[in-house]
Amino acid sequence: MDYFGYKNNVLCAEDVDINTLAKKYGTPLYVYSHRTITEHFRKIKSAFSDMPTLICYSVKANSNLTFLNVLAKEGSGFDIVSGGELYRVIKAGGDPKKVVYAGVGKTEEEIVYGIKSGILLFNVESVNELKQINNVAKKMKKTVNVGLRINPDVEAATHHYITTGKKENKFGIDIELATTLFTEARKFKHVNIKAVDMHIGSQITTIEPYVKAISKIKKIIEGLNETGAKIEYFDIGGGLGVIYDEEKPSTAAMFASEIKPLFKGMNIKLILEPGRFISGNSGILVAKVIYNKKGGTKNFLITDTGMNDLIRPSLYQAYHKILPVNVNKAKLKLYDVVGPICESGDFLAKDRHLPEVKEGDLLAVRTAGAYGMVMSSNYNSRRRAAEVMVKGNNVFLVRERETMEDLTAKDKIADIR
Ligand code: PLP
């Protein structure tokens, strides 16, 4: 469900024609729908409204300041993985008291920043990290709240690059070591173990892996509480899948109705960390076709956007629907939609049937709101795209297109002789 659709044969974001946006702001252009963001957030919120739940939007999926601000105004908390993300959340008006901080490589500087900002808790991913947090907190004469991120060793049935809850993944504390670690951790006087956390992967379209993982971790929480711990929060991470192609992911309501019974009698607050579920279908990437090129065996549409703006197809062979901005009745033709980057892996779509496309036509890459702009780069010295957000018939520029000056702003020509 989203608010991108055709009106009079023209693709619109809510009530705004994409042609108008491309003309005013240029291409490539990320376009977000305010209503899609807020409705997705509200869907999760209402699905869990009958139990104490904190929704911490996962900043890594889309960290634009307006995007975060919209969610902060909805009451969202935030899941972060770096000091930079914490900085963005605070700058966007997010409440640090609703921030949970995961990630396997938190530096001392980042831990200090998290403590000073008064975040809700650090989700700890190793013994050494726990020691480090304890040492830093001691130096700062503080006691900080932590959650133990446990790796439940379950198969999330998604792309292997975005599976995070298997034994061989670098994330979380091995499930068999969790209880021993907890006993050790109680010796640390400057950390308070308040939560148990998991995150099993991303773009998960069935509920079964969650049921398996939650059931395993529930046993651990019960065991810990029997030894005198007081686990207040059960953070079940993010990972809810969205529709890129023909997937049939569970809705927030279906997800909630299957997993809520698992928490019966647990007396815990739930934390959810959805990223893609909220941001995925709330954004599209608009590109212009620069050249139509007939190759030896393929028809290429060469666009002004590529892997530097949206790396998912190149990185994970991810599928994104491609739509013509202006509907035409031309016959279908088979295309590879590619970018201008000097890499054979630079493509947006392969072997797609589209109504015959001409040079200068606009195309929209759907479901580009998550892991799109945040994973963009300046490779080939291309300037990052602009971003706009649409609400009804209002348009807000939420990030300017980078300039040539931006490209070299941090470089220095050293005086080397
Ligand atoms: N929480 C953690 C710890 C993550 O690592 C991620 C993504 O990698 C998320 C939440 C968000 O995942 P998704 O966007 O699939 O909901």
Is there an atom of ligand 1 within 6 Å of 276 CB?
Answer: yes
Catalytically annotated residues? 342
Strand duo 121-124 + 144-151: pairing: parallel
Is there an atom of ligand 1 within 6 Å of 274 CB?
Answer: yes
Q: Give domain limits for the chain.
A: 4-32+280-402, 102-274
How many angstroms does the Cα of residue 257 sit away from the middle of ligand 1? 21
Measured in degrees and rounded to the nearest 5, phi and psi for residue 411 equal: -75, 155
Instruction: Specify the range with the lowest mean pLDDT, choosing from 93-97, 177-181, 223-227.
Output: 177-181
Substitution site in 273, 278, 281, 316 for ligand 1 pocket (most atoms within 8 Å of beta carbon): 273
Q: Which residues pair with 56 in a beta bridge?
A: 77
Yes or no: say if 173 and 125 are a contact pair by the CB < 8 Å rule.
yes
Measured in whole angstroms, the distance separating CA 367 from the mean position of its chain's CA atoms is 12
Q: How do residues 170-215 score in pLDDT, each as one tens digit?
A: 888 888 788 888 888 888 999 999 999 999 999 999 999 999 999 9
How many angstroms does the Cα of residue 241 sit away from the middle of ligand 1? 11
How many angstroms does the Cα of residue 357 sit away from the middle of ligand 1? 36
CA 271, CA 101: separation in Å to the nearest integer?
Answer: 12
Q: Which of 21, 37, 11 is nearest to 283 (CA)?
A: 37
What average pLDDT is seen over the chain? 95
Atom of ligand 1 nearest to the CA of 61: 14
How large is the average pLDDT for residues 44-68? 98
How many angstroms does the Cα of residue 70 sit away from the middle of ligand 1? 19
Q: Which residues pair with 233 in a beta bridge?
A: 195, 269
Give the max Cα distance, the chain: 72
pLDDT at 12: 98
Q: Which of 45, 38, 90 is nearest to 67 (CA)?
A: 38
Instruction: Specify the range with the lowest mean pLDDT, choosing from 17-21, 155-159, 219-223, 388-392.
Output: 155-159
Strand duo 10-13 + 299-303: pairing: unpaired
Yes or no: say if 283 and 309 are a contact pair by the CB < 8 Å rule.
no
| Coil/strand/helix, residue 129 | helix
Buried b (16+ CB within 10 A) or exposed e, 294-317: eeeeebbbbbbbbbbbbbbbbebe
How many angstroms does the Cα of residue 164 sit away from the middle of ligand 1? 9
Q: Where are the alpha helices (DSSP H) in 55-207?
A: 65-73, 83-91, 108-117, 127-139, 178-185
pLDDT at 162: 67
pLDDT of 167 above 80: no
Is there an atom of ligand 1 within 6 Å of 250 CB?
Answer: no
pLDDT at 174: 82
CA 82, CA 60: separation in Å to the nearest integer?
Answer: 9
Is there an atom of ligand 1 within 6 Å of 239 CB?
Answer: yes
How large is the average pLDDT for residues 142-152? 95
Is there an atom of ligand 1 within 6 Å of 56 CB?
Answer: no
Q: How do residues 397-408 score in pLDDT, each as one tens digit?
A: 999 999 999 999
Yes or no: say if 375 and 334 are a contact pair by the CB < 8 Å rule.
no
239 — pLDDT class (breaks 50, 70, 90): very high
Multiple choice CATH, 102-274, 3.40.50.720, 2.40.30.10, 3.20.20.10, 3.40.190.10: 3.20.20.10
pLDDT at 158: 72
Fold of 4-32+280-402: Lyase, Ornithine Decarboxylase; Chain A, domain 1 (2.40.37)
pLDDT of 276 above 80: yes
Q: Which of 141, 203, 151, 205 is nearest to 176 (CA)?
A: 151
Instruction: Specify the range with the lowest mean pLDDT, choosing from 162-166, 296-300, 354-358.
Output: 162-166
Is there an atom of ligand 1 within 6 Å of 165 CB?
Answer: no
